[in-house]
Amino acid sequence: MILFIDLISVKEEGAERYTKMKVLDAFGEVRVVDVDGEETLFKQLTHYDRIRGIRAFIRAPLRGFVVDARRTFLITVPAALLYLLAIFLNLPPSLPFEAAVSAVDDHVVIAALLVMICYAAFFEAWRHEIKGMEGAVPEFLARMAGINQVGLTLAQAIEILVRTNLGVLSYEIKRISKDIAWGANVQDALVRFEHRVRTPVVSRSVTLITTATRMSGNISEILTIASKDAQMSQVLRQERNAAMLLYLAVIYIAFFVFIFVVVVISAQFLPLLEDVATQAGQIGGTFGDIGNGSLLSIKRLLYHICLIQAFFSGLVAGKMGEGSVRAGVKHAAIMLFIGLAAFNLLV
């Protein structure tokens, strides 16, 4: 089902840039003269490169998880496995298989929720940050176009925009300005900005600007076009999300109806069937072979079906509503929690 929806739905845009490196060996025969007294400086530089990642982690320990939410699996998956291992070790050795499965069902769901909630939280934090940047890109390009139109270069325009407030994008503009101040040209600074953000809107804008600056320094019209393109992409995305919100609501309603039916069957129909089987067993009949164990197996089967429905309905909701299966992890976690609560409180 998810594969079919992926085939017919709009694909999530990705930002890719192919770079070509050329090793210069024009002065390979020139002898390198070692200058005395620089060994300490090289050691300090090597030491800084070695501890730079550690310092960045200490300064912002959660930043790495926000940039790549998959890193949470390095912590949450072992924690979930240790939790399940502790549950298994605490089970009585003489416990039958059926009873053991019933005892660990809820704990498996809790472990899965631990993994999914952590991933969804950091993934949504990254998406929120990216949406804030993409929302400020049209204004950033429009201001650059206005400054460039009066005769200033792009480097001067970026230096002026450092003092403006563009929300989440202001920090990245400061980093672009620092790159230029340290000797990088505008094209390289913008490409580094694209690599850091990795969004389709920024990728298209940077590609257009870097290509245009190779031809001329006055690119105010191109910046205006890029600003309008970024704004139009944002409007189209908002309209698409509003249109797909109806399908998201339908998926949730269908899941709640499924939960209601399963809970009614488990709480009302199965106990009635058990009473009928008890009476039939006393006098002999069609329902006489239905025992308590069979009814518990049916109830557990309905519980498992509910959990499977919750997981895949959440992924489908993310794909249809937000264009990404990864965005559906939070919906899957919500539905799994609802299914877990419904069976433990109502059945």
pLDDT tens-place string over residues 263-298: 888 888 877 776 766 665 555 555 445 555 577 788
Report percent pLDDT > 90 for the chain.
23
Query: Is 293 among the domain residues?
Result: yes
In this predicted model, what pLDDT tens digit does every residue of 128-165 receive, in sequence order?
Answer: 988 888 888 889 889 988 888 888 888 888 999 988 88
- pLDDT of 185 reads 86
The pLDDT confidence band at residue 4, using thresholds 50, 70 and 90, is low
| Phi and psi torsions of 144, nearest 5° | -60, -40
Contact 134, 202 (CB under 8 A): yes
Query: Is 38 among the domain residues?
Result: no
Query: Is 310 among the domain residues?
Result: yes
- Residue 322, pLDDT > 60, answer yes
- Residue 121, pLDDT > 90, answer yes
- pLDDT of 116 reads 96
Report the chain's mean pLDDT, rounded to a whole number: 83
Contact 83, 114 (CB under 8 A): yes
Query: Is 162 among the domain residues?
Result: yes
Taking each helix axis from N to C end, the angle separating 292-322 and 270-283, rounded to the nearest 10 degrees, works out to: 160
Terminal CA-CA length for the chain:
29
Query: Is 230 among the domain residues?
Result: yes
DSSP state of 323: S
- Residue 217, pLDDT > 70, answer no
Contact 31, 218 (CB under 8 A): no
- Residue 11, pLDDT > 60, answer no
Query: Is 242 among the domain residues?
Result: yes
Query: Is 185 among the domain residues?
Result: yes
Which domain does 106 fall in, by range? 47-345
Q: What is the number of domains present in the chain?
A: 1
The pLDDT confidence band at residue 201, using thresholds 50, 70 and 90, is confident
Beta strand residue intervals within 285-337, DSSP E: none
The pLDDT confidence band at residue 325, using thresholds 50, 70 and 90, is confident
- Residue 93, pLDDT > 90, answer no
- pLDDT of 330 reads 94
